[in-house]
Structure 1
Amino acid sequence: MEAPPFFVLDNTKEYWRKKNHFLFHSLCCLLFSAMVAAASSLDGTLIAEEDYQGLQAFKHALIDPRGFLRSWNDTGLGACSGAWLGIKCVKGKVIAIQLPWRGLGGHISEKIGQLTSLRKLSLHNNLIGGRIPSAVGFLLDLRGLVLFNNRFSGEVPPTVGKCLKLHSIDLSNNSLSGDIPASISNSSKLYRLNLSYNNFSGEIPAGIAKSLALTFLSVRHNALSGPIPDATAYNLQYLNLDENYFSGSIPAIPASLGQLRLLREITLNNNQLNGSIPEEIGSLLMLETLDISQNTIGGNFPASLCNLSSLIRLNLAGNFLKGRLPDSFDKLGNLSILSLKMNHLNGHLPSTIANLSNLTQLDLSNNNFIGHIPASLSQLSKLKFLNVSDNNLSGRVPALLSERFNYSSFIGNIQLCGYSSSTPCPLNPSLPPSSSPESHRRRLNTRDIILIVAGIAIAFLLLLCCVLFCFLIRKRANFGKQSKSMEGAEKAGPPAAAELDTGGDSGGKLVHFDGPFVFTADDLLCATAEIMGKSTYGTVYKATLEDGNLVAVKRLREKIAKSQKEFEAEVNVLGKIRHSNLLALRAYYLGPKGEKLLVFDFMPNGSLAAFLHARGPDTPINWPTRMSIAMGTARGLNHLHNNINIIHGNLTSSNVLLDDDHDVKIADYGLARLMTAAANSNVIATAGALGYRAPELSKLKKASTKTDVYSLGVIMLELLTGKSPGYAMNGVDLPQWVASIVNEEWTNEVFDLELMRDASGNAGDELLNTLKLALHCVDPSPTARPEVREVLRQLEEIKPDLAMAGMTGDEGGGEAGGAG
């Protein structure tokens, strides 16, 4: 029998070489099939050839300094298996490219048009420049074009109008120019359009404003001009056109305004609008923000605005509004911010403003208001900012208002009195000189006026001589006693707490801790004082001593402190605490009638709350400064928790103070140890009203390290967003609002715009990582929150250059080590 052809060859090396080659080839085929199967198991098939080529061209057009695209280096097998960073596929076709915050530069290749199944292109917060490729018109399945915070320039290609399935376009914070292409409105599904912070010119295409699906439209800070288009989009909820060159009158759209029933925000400030505010705005019952400030709008204040019961923020400042304010202000029950400054409004201030219990900011300055300031305004417990300066108001400022707000809130009203030591009220305030019966019978002649002025001057000089004489007598009587006391202190060496005999008329007790200077009780009690603020604990004064030194004095409320023996034991412990991020207690005074004063270093830059929220638009706060403040606050809190075993219990941005270099000094720590239980309960309630209270405190009523971490997280969110926690967004607090925005993948809407403009290089990653940490701190579950030690560690990892700078300034805290 003849052998098969295969065995005709002899049993030689050639035979085995061919056989081994055959076996190796078969094994390779099997391995390749296995790889294909593995890749196919994730998306159904291998990546299509045209998509592979499109991705390679896309990669080569970008600059990738951090090497994020190194994973895009195989023959395409990993593209749809999850191995290629930022790529998602379905059945071998690329449906999403998501590469935000990667520091990418370069430009986008025109070959992106080969990715014909692409649904989302998200490249925000990078350094990509050049033009937006016209090839986007080939991406017929595109739903989201997210390119904000880059360096794109030139015009937006009209071909974008071919993408009829577009839901969202965000090209904000670039350098785009030219006209806004009218073709953008071709998509009947477009619900979000953000073109802010570019250089667009011309008019807004009429078709965009008429899009029935559009809910969000923002073109702020461009060079757009012409009239505001007729808006008939029934679903529009957010309209921001501020900082452009729009002209014409607002009544150009009266009919359409009344139809926008779901509109929640109208922002038209800093344009060239004139005319008057249409009454139809009063029918927008869902409206929460109306800002038409810095235009040339005239006419009377429309009474229909008082129908907007959902309104939270109303800003009509810098216009030419005239007439009286309506008495129906009390209908605006949700109003938090009201600014009508720099108009021509007149008449009396309506007392119904006092019914706006949620009001936090009220600015009526630079108008022509007359009459008294309603005493009922003192009932606005949430009011943090008040300005009625430069009007024609008269009479006495209500006492509670003059205590809560300084003189700058009331200056420029010639007939207003009682708001500072230099504006005393007459002895009979009910009969001021301008309205007394005598003044109506006979006008004073020149001789009468001269005699009156001379008499007042002589009386003032006599009074001044008496004061100076008494002062000299007191100084001479106390000099010998104080000299002996100071001499004895010098011989004994510097004690931890030096008690000075105040003697004289004060009859009290002053105890000093270490500090930059020493003063007597008389120096303290005779200091020039200016109210800086009030809290549940008491009133804080800026005190200028006779020698010109400044201190902050907290006068505790009556009947809220512990007994004198317990008080002294606790306050002597607090006086020994020293740390570079904690406000040092320098002295305390116990008065003969139970008064209790605490003396601290004076912080020239005030509180973080004022630093963030009371500054002008021309004073930005950069990211390193904000991060330094977050680290300093964490360091101070960490020292309290882990070195001296103290829970703060009332950490807010109002008691995070800033020195000359904007370094943090936490205030009000340990004050709970000086107070009664009832007083501490009130503090917890107040913290809740301001938005810093952890949710579990509503039931437990006892602060812990985790409730302090929650407050720290809120402060971090405050620094990131620039928003005050007391200002609820859409009825939810700041942590809830931030979480909802992040969950919807619109993280850029969270950050303060000042930060977004500077989010280059590593700053983008730092912002994102800090946001994640802050959300971890405000987790509703206390057990899920980190301890402050871990928060500090992560902050230092996020910004290591600031970490080293901050670790060299701590004062020794050894004395306070057992303060717990």
Structure 2
Amino acid sequence: MKGDLSDPRGFLHSWKATDLGGACSGAWTGIKCVNGNVATITLPWHGLAGTLSAPWLGQLTRLRRLSLHDNAIVGAFPSSLGFLPDLHGLYLFNNRFSGTVPPEIDCCLMLQSFDASTSLAQKFGHTSFAGNILLCGYFASSPPCPVSTSPAPASTSQGTTGCHGLRKFSSKELVLIIAGIVIGVLILLSLCCLLLCLLTRKKKSSTGTKAQSGKQLSSKDATGAGAAAAAGQGEKLGASKAESGGNVGVKLVHFNGPLVFTADDLLCTTAEIMGKSTYDTVYKATLEDGSLLAVKRLREKITKGQKEFEAEAAALGKVRHPNLLSLRAYNLGPKGEKLLVIDYIPKGSLSAFLHNEIASFKIVHPLKLDPALCPKITDISLSCLMTAAVNSSVLAAASALGYRAPELSKLKKASGKTNVFSLGIIILELLTGKSPANTTYHSGWGPS
């Protein structure tokens, strides 16, 4: 396709055959793939020229959408489109195609939307308009269209005309016009002043709130995160207040995984809250092609600085194990919000499976079950991304659930022995069917 088209603006320079994964590498402009196959080609308003008559187009058998409108493509309408059984949308209007629409287009049984207007003008045969008795002026044999009658001359009472045929306004009309302009300018200035006052008041209010919250941050980080979890049931992936890092722009970083998506695809997904913890909210996100993801939106002011966060996230993205939920991508939003993308596990947590619990919005359990009921550990080394105060609150939550070793009071005291203790509690839970949150270390675990 790149060889058939002329690209004066250089949009197709990113199409390099040497890229790992080819067209589905994620680097080709206008190309989106599903399961390793090209699904959409979207290149409108790119100033492309050339032709589309080559047979290469019929080889994209999984293509669902082709959008090349508002370019300067010439030549015959591509008949190879008839070999695309999954084609749903075809948008080629405002180009310079010649000839007629080929009959092969009838083979596109899934085609729902087709627009080639202003690209094939005057290219439909007489049979296309058979029975249209009101058609006029289209063919030489068609009757001429009636000429519209001229409007009656304007009354001279509406004003006089000058020597060049331009209408002259009376003094009364000029006064009304000037008064209207002045009133409009005054209203516009008033609105600008009102908006400026509102912005100034909002800035002062947010400054005072930040100063007050800064004094209480060291002692109340965990409490604030828990309150945010209880109040955020209606949150959206793309909506968040600015963090204490300022506007850092949009940045999406992918790790190894089967799906390729953009930041806009992620933030515009249909999201459903699956659970909440003291440091994040977990969403079930559905992409446009139906793929499912689990997205963690980390709460405000609980993570490390941006550079340290990116370094730790890059290290976590390299961790792979059959029993770990690996980090697939992370996104830094325009207002500092941070999203972590992992695989979606439909079976829920091990605790819910054992105790027939309904998903809780208070805690997200770290052990999940895949469709084959194999355990997967999530949030592996997630504490590396958090501040010390938040990690302390996570330890407190683990203690309340009964999984924390008695001697573990601070994160720096964690060791292999404390991990073995937590593993032993999970094994006892599997053997007895009893939740450690509803018992103590000294009773309730023996045979009944």
Larger radius of gyration between Structure 1 and Structure 2: 1
TM-score, normalised by the number of residues in structure 2: 0.45
Structure scoring higher RCO (CA < 8 A, sep ≥ 6) equals: 2
